[in-house]
Amino acid sequence: MRSSEPSVDQFAKWKEEWEKAAHPVAVTGAGISVASGLPTLSAKWKGIELRDFFTYEMFVHKTDSFYQYYRHILQHWKQAKPNAAHAAFAKTGMPIITQNIDGLHQRAGSRHILEIHGNLLELLCGECKGIYQSDLVAEQRIPVCPRCKTVLKPNIVLVGEEIYHYGTAVDWVGSADLLLIVGTRLEMAPCQELPEISRRKGSPIIRINHDAEHILPLLLE
């Protein structure tokens, strides 16, 4: 096995926990999409760190620059394809709480998904709450809502905004008898509390930070 993969004994324990689980839930992060060619937030894109782009301040005060950068990112994100880790999850039909904004779980065939950071391929109107496809940025330098003419924002959680659906995420983890954490360390609030919910009820936790595209197809078969 690769150095980042679990030992034989560790994998055997994970396999046993997976096979016993009746209601597993997964939490996924950027690491699961690296094999699809997408960067993590610590990476740079066009000379700007992604975490510096994903800020509400940049959207409000540098809207034109924000959307120029968004177009560059969007073009690359649209070309990404689900990898074997996404496909392995889709075959199980299990609920997935994802921090990712790439939509790859859906494209792989998963249906029970909470996108707690939103979806980069959608635009949101903060006024009427309408949701539109990102194609509007090809027609307008700064896209506006077709109904109320408010400037649209990518339907993603920017730094400084509350994440989506957190109460539902807590409920899902609270009812799970196994928690898989894949491609994320869950170091940021409030998501760092999710593993604690599983620990308090005594549910097993499987953490896979790297090589999920190799490990999950074997683990979840």
Q: Indicate if 133 and 152 belong to the same structural domain.
A: yes
Rounded to an integer, the average pLDDT of 70-83 is 93
The span from the CA of 147 to the CA of 153, in Å, is 14
What pLDDT is attached to residue 33?
97
Mark whether 193 and 94 lie in a shared domain: yes
Distances (CA, A) of 51 to 41, 60, 102, 123, 178: 5, 16, 15, 19, 31
- Local confidence band at 4 (pLDDT 50, 70, 90 cut-offs): low
Q: What domain range is 129 assigned to?
A: 39-79+121-156
pLDDT at residue 159, rounded to an integer: 85
Q: Which of 101, 130, 156 is the last residue of a domain?
A: 156
- Total domains, the chain: 2
State the chain's mean pLDDT as an integer. 93
Give the CATH number, domain containing residue 127: 3.30.1600.10
pLDDT tens digits for 183-197? 999 988 899 999 999
Residue 72 has pLDDT above 50, yes or no: yes
Orientation angle between helical segments 194-201 and 166-175, nearest 10 degrees? 20
Check 72, 105, 112, 117 and give the catalytic one.
Answer: 117
Judgement on whether residues 1 and 101 belong to the same structural domain of the protein: yes
Mean pLDDT score, 131-141: 94
Model pLDDT, residue 3: 47
- At residue 50 the predicted structure's pLDDT band, cuts being 50, 70 and 90, is confident
Q: Of 104, 133, 156, which residue is a domain's last?
A: 156
Q: Please confirm, yes or no, whether 117 is among the known catalytic residues.
A: yes
143 and 51 in a common domain: yes
Higher model confidence: residue 159 or residue 216? Answer: 216
pLDDT at 63 exceeding the cut of 50:
yes
Residues 217 and 148 reside in one and the same domain? no
- Local confidence band at 42 (pLDDT 50, 70, 90 cut-offs): low
User: For residue 150, is pLDDT > 50?
Assistant: yes
* Whether residues 205 and 101 fall in one domain: yes
Burial classification of residue 150, based on how many CB atoms lie within 10 Å of its CB (0-12 exposed, 13-18 middle, 19 or more buried): middle
Distances (CA, A) of 190 to 53, 98, 102, 193: 21, 14, 21, 6
Q: Bigger pLDDT: 54 or 82?
A: 82
Q: What is the largest CA-CA distance in the chain?
A: 59
Asked if pLDDT for residue 13 goes beyond 70, the answer is: yes
Mean pLDDT of 171-182: 98
At residue 159, the 3 state secondary structure works out as strand
Q: What is the CATH number of the domain that holds 112?
A: 3.40.50.1220
1 has a pLDDT exceeding 60: no
Q: State residue 85's pLDDT score.
A: 98
Degrees (nearest 5) of the Cα angle 94, 169, 125?
105
